[in-house]
Amino acid sequence: MTEEKMQKTDEEWKKELTPEQFEVLRKKGTEPPFSGKYVHEKGKGMYACAACGQELFSSETKYDSASGWPSFWQAADPDAVELRPDTSNGMVRTEVVCKKCGGHLGHLFEDGPKPTGKRFCINSAALKLKDGEK
Ligand code: FE
């Protein structure tokens, strides 16, 4: 895992990402619930960052949270993501960021299932399922 951070301008990211991906990953947007392509995804594989390809979450830790967003109870590697306090929109939350490219992924909540009790609530637009078997 590289510690080196990707530094790209908005213009550069715009060329590589779809408008939806750009809005979520670079502008901290949130896709509408149940709108993302991975909400009900059951395929096996590794969910990587849609912007930089860093491996973020294993399908083995994906579960149905009924929230409307892909949910995971653990990151593939604690070093793959960065957790930041987020008080935007009048809420106190924990933002989940891709450590490699700084892209916004979603938020972390403490109402997840065992064994961690964590719920990584992640936008589909921020993810790309690799080696998915359907
Ligand atoms: Fe990334």
Q: Are 20 and 14 in contact (CB under 8 A)?
A: no
Give 44 Cα–ligand 1 centroid separation in angstroms: 20
- CA-based nearest residue to 93, from 50, 30, 34: 30
Find tokens 């933002």 and name the residue.
95
User: Cα separation of 17 and 76, whole Å?
Assistant: 23
Q: Using 50, 70 and 90 to split pLDDT, how confident is the model at 34?
A: very high
The predicted structure's pLDDT at residue 123: 98
Give 127 Cα–ligand 1 centroid separation in angstroms: 9
Is residue 121 flagged as an active site residue? yes
Give 50 Cα–ligand 1 centroid separation in angstroms: 7
User: Cα separation of 117 and 127, whole Å?
Assistant: 22
Report pTM: 0.93
Q: Provide the CATH topology of domain 10-131.
A: 2.170.150
User: Quick one: what percent of the chain has pLDDT higher than 70?
Assistant: 95
Give 87 Cα–ligand 1 centroid separation in angstroms: 22
Q: Are 107 and 17 in contact (CB under 8 A)?
A: no
Q: Using 50, 70 and 90 to split pLDDT, how confident is the model at 15?
A: very high
Selected catalytic residue, list 52, 98, 101, 121: 121
Average pLDDT, stretch 110-119?
98
Mean predicted lDDT score pLDDT of the chain: 94
Q: Are 129 and 75 in contact (CB under 8 A)?
A: no
Amino acid in the structure at residue 49: C
The predicted structure's pLDDT at residue 132: 59
Give 119 Cα–ligand 1 centroid separation in angstroms: 19
Average pLDDT, stretch 57-78?
97
The predicted structure's pLDDT at residue 17: 98
